[in-house]
Amino acid sequence: MGVELAQANGLTIAYEEFGERGDPPVLLIMGIGSQMIGWPEGFCAELARRGHHVVRFDNRDAGESTHLHDAGKVDVTAVLAGDRSSARYTLSDMADDAAALLDALDIQMAHVVGASMGGMIAQTFALDHPERVRSLTSIMSTTGDPSLPQATPEAMAVLLQPAARSRDELVRRAVESARVLGSPGFEIDEEYLRERAGRAWDRGYDPPGFGRQLAAIYASGDRTERLRTLRVPTLVIHGGDDPLIRVEAGRATADAIEGAELVVIDGMGHDMPRGTWPQVIDPIAALVERVERVPA
């Protein structure tokens, strides 16, 4: 359908739809520093083919949505050391963006799917707007519990590497980063990764925006106790070989949410290469189908 712009929560949110509007809506939320193109067109098209109205969008400070340039940079070093005073917004604010986008699209309830930071936003959405969520899927994400195993030093170094200074540098890094963060059990599509990185540069590469999103994660704290109160059909998907958000974080998420189903994909890291799609899409589609049998 092409990229459209919506006015939502005081921002301009860029979004794209796949499938028919009358089908069960599935809202896809992407992770830190990533844009909606982090959900590949083929992935979205396959979800739509299975009878879903799929919506992907750029978070604030990413892609073609509003970038909060006037908010300035955050002190990432201080944030990581425990001082979150420079945070400009929280995950609740980002969840409010998603809820406002649904309002703009006249969607009352959706199946909410988030990956990495998007999973944290999706969890927060379900906590802050439970009446809007038909089901929750949290992929390669975490509860925010700081006592959980942390990223490997190599993975953290990739996450916090200096900003790329050119399009060519960002494209080159795409494959290098995937070799550290990616899925050792699945083939790397180098051409696709380079093409997506180039598109990300063209659409709105924003290192200070990345910093503001990172601060939002840390400023939002541990959701574990709130998640224990959640009563929404939930699926947790995690890679067994994720070096950035370790699989223990996925297990903790599933343990915290009553009745949650946990799917651990062996050989999957902190990405979703094409080889993982059946193991990701199948349980999402099954959850949606199961929930849709029950009247809202």
pTM of the full structure: 0.97
For residues 248-275, average pLDDT: 98
Whether 1 has a pLDDT exceeding 70, the answer reads no
pLDDT recorded at residue 73: 84
Q: Tell me the per-residue pLDDT of 167-185, one tens digit each, with 9 for 90 and over.
A: 999 999 999 999 999 999 9
Whether 236 has a pLDDT exceeding 80, the answer reads yes
Kindly report the backbone phi and psi dihedral angles of residue 105, in degrees, each rounded to the nearest multiple of 5, phi listed first: -95, 5
In the chain, the number of structural domains is 1
Q: Tell me the per-residue pLDDT of 106-137, one tens digit each, with 9 for 90 and over.
A: 999 999 999 999 999 999 999 999 999 999 99
Cα distances (Å, whole numbers) of residue 198 to 37, 184, 270 = 11, 24, 20
Whether 164 has a pLDDT exceeding 90, the answer reads yes
Other beta carbons less than 10 A from residue 153's beta carbon = 8
Task: Indicate the pLDDT class of residue 296, thresholds 50, 70 and 90.
Answer: low
Distance CA 287, CA 289 (A): 5
For residues 70-77, average pLDDT: 89
Q: Which domain holds residue 224?
A: 4-292
Buried b (16+ CB within 10 A) or exposed e, 78-113: ebeeeebebbbbbbbbbbbbbbbbbebbebebbbbb
CA distance from start to end of the chain: 28
Kindly report the backbone phi and psi dihedral angles of residue 245, in degrees, each rounded to the nearest multiple of 5, phi listed first: -115, 105
CATH number at residue 162: 3.40.50.1820
